[in-house]
Structure 1
Amino acid sequence: MPILVEIDEDGLYKVSCPLLEGCHSWGETVDEAMKNISEVIEMCLEKTKIEDLNTFVDFREL
């Protein structure tokens, strides 16, 4: 699953999974943020049918 990693204004790593609506987490390190998003993804998948996943196409930089 694609994961978007950003740094917020407080220096924390904010992560989100664009395939799953409302699937976001954070951590003080990238490793911590990835561990946290893994747990959130598991919870989101318990409530989401595969056919209801957002359609992810690509990330582009402009």
Structure 2
Amino acid sequence: MTRTYTFVFNPEPEGGYTVTCPALPGLATYGETLDEARRMALDAMDGLIEVILEKREPIPESDTPTLAPRYSRLAQALQSDGEAEPIFEQLSARTGERV
């Protein structure tokens, strides 16, 4: 089974991106470039899903495809002048979950 979640890539003032995922509380990682941040996010998601499965807890449902654009519009509306705008992207992982 594949799950897809929306990730927030927040540009840091000193460079790089801090990455979080609202659907997966506790997931936080960092990458010096956007490509590295994506790889780190995928690795963190895989690791967190593995822990969830080991604990026999339910894996959060996938985000809808419209969630990333909605988050982006909200961030633009709340953004202060001069702040770097966060990037919202959806990433997917195979969960190994049995249906």
Quick check: TM above 0.5? yes
Please point out which of 15, 27, 35 is paired with 1:11: 15
Calculate the aligned-residue CA RMSD, in Å.
1.9
Identity %: 25
Which contiguous aligned blocks of 4+ residues in structure 1 show a shift greater than 3 angstroms?
none
Count of aligned residue pairs for this structure pair: 59
Give the superposition deviation at 1:46: 1.2
| Structure 2: runs of 5+ lacking an equivalent | 53-57, 78-99
- What are the residue-to-residue correspondences of 1:7-46 with 2, within 5 Å? 7-46=11-50
TM norm structure 1: 0.77
Q: Larger strand proportion, structure 1 or 2? A: 2
What is the TM-score of this pair, normalised by structure 2?
0.52
Greater Rg, structure 1 or structure 2? 2
* Higher RCO (Cα < 8 Å, 6 or more apart): 2
